[in-house]
Structure 1
Amino acid sequence: MTLKLLTAGCCAAALSLGMVQADHGPTDVGGAAMLPERNIIQNAVNSGDHETLVAAVQAAGLAEVLQGEGPFTVFAPVDAAFQRLPEGTVETLLRPENQDQLQTVLTYHVVPGNLTRDDLWEAVMARDGAASFATVQGERLTVMRNGNNLKVMDRNGNSANLSVVDVAQANGVIHVVDRVLLP
């Protein structure tokens, strides 16, 4: 994955945290510039690391929603995260007869609002290391401190590390994660 650190002040800190903060201008994700004037879908379709996510969003009929006004905070799993699921899971979810289940999984990765890494960190620190957020799907995700980094945990106790944060979108923000979260 090609990532650019865009502010000199965050470079050393972001590297020491094991993540990249992208809070000024476009950021490369999956080899493509994520332009802040584009919406979530317009940017995601260009990311070489989110081909499975884009295909799933399209199969679930959610592309129009994620192109909407928002704002949305999306915890966007990379392709490798989908590959970590049990064999056949992605193929099963992409079948038309499983569209409702696919929508459930995908909307579990979306929180209403525009929550930056700093917003998440402040909420976590105010709540002794873990904060819960309602998803568009209706259940909750927990964001937790992981050393100087953040991770997000599903209701089953599975966690995903935030690897690229604050990828600005016209209708929200994307935080790239390394696992698929399951409701």
Structure 2
Amino acid sequence: MDVHLLAVCLVLALTAGPGTALPHHLGVNTDTVKQMTIESYPSKRDYGDKIAATIAAVPYQKAKPEAVLHYNLGVRLLQENILRAQSEAELVSPIPAVAGRLGLRELVDLVTRSGLKQTLESAGPFTLFGPTDDAFSSLPDWAKKEMDNATLLADVLKFHVVPGKLLSKRLANEMQISTLEGRKLRFNVYSTGTKTVATAQCAPIDLSRVDQAASNGVIHVLNGVMIPPAGNIVHTLSACGVFKTLMGAVQIAGLGDLLASPGPFTVFAPTDKAFGKLPPGVLEDLLNNPKELVQILTYHVVSGTYCSAGLTTGNVQTLEGQAVAVSVSAGGIFVNECKVIYADGGVTNGVVHAVDTVLLPPGHSLVTLH
């Protein structure tokens, strides 16, 4: 078939439908037109079928020059219809299929392995916070090992799913919402000048890939994996074996109820090794001076949730009343020159960052403490 005539056939098939005769003014012998159809063309009643145009061979007489114009029109119409059909097909695909098209291959694989795929293909609606492949590969070894457990894997994945359709415009700072797993995840929004950073349970949200529509909900792409929090600050730090000194001091200072309250709080938590750096006798003196101890400990606590993605170089007010100096660079995050050695510890009432040194408020020194 001549390419010009093919274009004319496409125009007619797309605009007039199957079986339409070619017009005489194009110089085509319409008596010889046998059949012309477009098959499996996606429509609202025919989702997901592959786009295929099938046009039977049509004997013809030599087409007139005007057919070139119709050829160009036909190509353009075909391209526009194919793109529109592909867009409609994507909109009517369920969440797992859309996640695959977004390149979230590891997520789709884990969803399939965990048995969650059937749920995410149901009517819903659901909101999926989808970590990228890089986010999964960046998980620490202990987290990867835990996800080998089918039950724990299912819990982690369900923590990324919110019942209902939650669009990005509804997300607000310190907003909490229940997940399919049962526990709540916390959203935070940080703005510094022209830059806005948003996080879900401290995992950065890719703001260029939010509100990805699916037939049964929406997907927001994450540059991190969300781990369900085990409990509040007191419960979590008490269960962890490297904060025994800190939690003993918290109890002596009478701050346990405060740090177990809804908050939210950000705690720069010194490890046992950090307290071990104090000169001999200093810790003992602190534990015997509750008033001084309260000042030191509250200097490690900030009101509000400050995930690592939301921290910028500058001062942050503490519950003690004075500010800590935060420095963020390629070398890491530092608080008063003390290094954050583990960031974004998830808790139900804020976030915990482990630091390698005990912070001292201005006006305090190791000499005065001893």
- Give the TM-score band, short-chain normalised: 0.7 to 0.9
Alignment of 1:50 onto 2:228 = no
Q: Any unmatched runs of 5+ in structure 2? A: 1-133, 141-201, 204-224, 362-370
Residue pair 2:230, 2:236 contacting (<8 A) in 1 also: no
Give the letter for the 2:136 counterpart: A
Match of 1:29 in 2: none
Give the letter for the 1:165 counterpart: A
Match of 2:285 in 1: 92
Change (3 A) 1:143 1:9: farther
Of 102, 114, 118, which aligns to 2:309?
118
Of 163, 168, 173, which aligns to 2:346?
168
Q: Any unmatched runs of 5+ in structure 1? A: 1-5, 13-21, 27-34, 125-129, 154-158
Match of 2:35 in 1: none
Separation of aligned partners in 2, 1:170 and 1:178: 23
Shift of 1:177: 0.5
Match of 1:181 in 2: 359
Match of 1:18 in 2: none
Separation of aligned partners in 2, 1:9 and 1:75: 27
Percent of aligned positions that are identical: 38
Separation of aligned partners in 2, 1:137 and 1:36: 26
Separation of aligned partners in 2, 1:11 and 1:161: 21
Give the superposed CA RMSD. 1.9
Moved over 2 A (4+): 6-12, 22-26, 145-148
Shift of 1:86: 1.3
TM-score where L is the length of structure 2: 0.38
**Which one has the largest radius of gyration?**
2
Give the letter for the 2:290 counterpart: Q
Alignment of 1:40 onto 2:207 = no
Alignment of 1:8 onto 2:130 = no
1:62-141 equivalences under 5 Å are 62-95=255-288, 98-120=289-311, 124=312, 130-141=313-324
Match of 1:19 in 2: none
Match of 1:127 in 2: none
Separation of aligned partners in 2, 1:165 and 1:82: 18
TM-score where L is the length of structure 1: 0.74
Instruction: From the two aligned structures, give the one with the greater strand fraction.
Output: 1
1:116-153 deviation per Cα after TM superposition (whole angstroms, max 9, x unaligned): 00000xxx2xxxxx310000110000110243411100
